[in-house]
């Protein structure tokens, strides 16, 4: 069974659009998301365009602020502070990565916790680990939604997450733990990785290496979530961290790349923007 993040996100966005359509009458306006793009990195431009398109579909107001690569850190932080103080703005997202002269952690810390639709602010991260109300990071949130929509039982299952980044690996592991899976986190220093991955009933891969997980690393019936977004060195096409053609026949459930986790990430960004808007009311 291939879980289509494209289809699930289309369905969820249609539901959100119906919800947002009632906001002008109920609350006087629709939610407003501001996305800041620094420079013109093609991948970042494409992500920002995707976010604007999704906002349009859902009926969320989207403002994309494009700033030159040369903008100083102080100027960028001032823009964020102004947006924090602006009552008509509900969500703020600064597209990463940023040029080297700008500290990403300073930028993330400057965004108001209440408008941090990416869920990257240290206070949101702390709240997640303390099981308090928080804004969940979009990719991990989307993964749990996909598993649930596919009817995957998480409770009591052995889950292995490869990758321990703050953006994907660690929060995915925490959300799986909160769903009562027994979670192992693997990384670049993990020994005997294939032995570990073969024991997984749920395998989440977030490494950033094309087709890193090969057929022999996965047992029959495993649920496989592929977060990676890479270029296949042979074909130049988008591919995941998992060798899809080798693993798909063995997996009970698998996500494709493209069309899997990616669309769900943007869908959860829309949901987070609506949540930030509603929390103020
Ligand atoms: P990252 O910060 O570079 O982290 C990569 C992780 O993989 C690290 O924890 C690293 O271990 C681990 N790793 C690297 N080589 C390994 C190996 N040989 N064996 C085991 N573990 C290894 O990357 P990220 O931000 O988490 O992103 C991971 C992938 O997901 C990328 O392809 C990215 O483009 C993609 N992504 C997709 C979405 C989406 O919406 N679909 C969202 C975010 C990211 P160490 O900690 O030991 O270095």
- The DSSP secondary structure of 69-81, one letter per residue, reads TT--HHHHHHHHH
CB half-sphere exposure, 208, CA atoms < 13 A: 8
Query: From the CB of 256, is ligand 1 less than 6 Å away?
Result: no
- pLDDT in the model for residue 43: 92
Q: Concatenated DSSP letters for 35-57?
A: EEEES--HHHHHHHHHHHHHHHH
Burial 67-104 (b: 16+ CB within 10 A, else e): eeeebeeeebbebbeebeeeeebbbbbbbeebeeebee
Question: Which pTM value belongs to this model?
Answer: 0.97
- pLDDT in the model for residue 209: 97
Please, what is the average pLDDT of the chain?
97
Query: From the CB of 235, is ligand 1 less than 6 Å away?
Result: no
Q: 202-222 pLDDT, tens per residue?
A: 999 999 999 999 999 999 999
Residue with structure tokens 């604007």?
52
Asked if 112 contacts 120 with a C-beta cutoff of 8 angstroms, the reply is no
Query: Annotated active-site positions, please?
Result: 51, 95, 118
Query: From the CB of 205, is ligand 1 less than 6 Å away?
Result: no
- pLDDT in the model for residue 109: 98
CA-nearest residue for atom 16, ligand 1, is: 188
Beta strands 61-67 and 182-186, pairing class: unpaired
Q: 239-278 pLDDT, tens per residue?
A: 999 999 999 999 999 999 999 999 999 999 999 999 999 9
- Ligand 1 atom closest to the Cα of residue 138 is 40
Mean pLDDT in residue range 35-57: 97
Ligand 1 centroid to residue 166 C-alpha, Å:
10
Q: 112-145 pLDDT, tens per residue?
A: 999 999 999 999 999 999 999 999 999 999 999 9
């Amino acid at each position: 069974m291939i879980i289509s993040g494209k289809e699930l996100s289309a369905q969820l966005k249609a539901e959100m659009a119906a919800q947002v359509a009632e906001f002008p009458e109920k609350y006087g306006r629709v939610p407003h998301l501001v996305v800041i793009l620094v420079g013109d990195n093609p991948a970042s431009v494409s992500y920002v365009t995707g976010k604007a398109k999704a906002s349009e579909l859902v009926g969320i107001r989207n403002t994309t602020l494009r700033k030159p690569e040369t903008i100083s850190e102080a100027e960028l932080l001032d823009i964020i502070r102004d947006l924090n103080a602006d009552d008509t703005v509900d969500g703020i997202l600064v597209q990463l990565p940023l040029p080297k002269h700008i500290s990403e952690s300073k930028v993330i810390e400057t965004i108001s916790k209440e408008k941090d639709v990416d869920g990257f602010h240290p206070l949101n991260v702390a709240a997640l680990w303390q099981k308090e109300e928080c804004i969940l990071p979009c990719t991990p949130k989307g993964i749990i939604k996909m598993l649930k929509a596919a009817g995957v039982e998480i409770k009591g299952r052995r889950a292995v997450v490869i990758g321990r980044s703050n953006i994907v690996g660690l929060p995915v592991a925490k959300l799986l733990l909160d769903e009562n899976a027994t979670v192992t986190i693997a990384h670049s220093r993990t020994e005997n990785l294939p032995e570990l991955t073969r024991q997984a009933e749920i395998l989440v891969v977030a490494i950033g290496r094309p087709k890193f997980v090969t057929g022999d690393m996965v047992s029959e019936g495993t649920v496989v979530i592929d977060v990676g977004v890479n270029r296949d060195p042979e074909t130049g096409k988008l591919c995941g961290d998992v060798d899809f053609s080798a693993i798909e026949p063995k997996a009970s459930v698998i996500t494709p790349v493209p069309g899997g986790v990616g669309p769900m990430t943007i869908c959860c960004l829309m949901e987070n923007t609506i949540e930030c808007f509603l929390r103020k009311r």
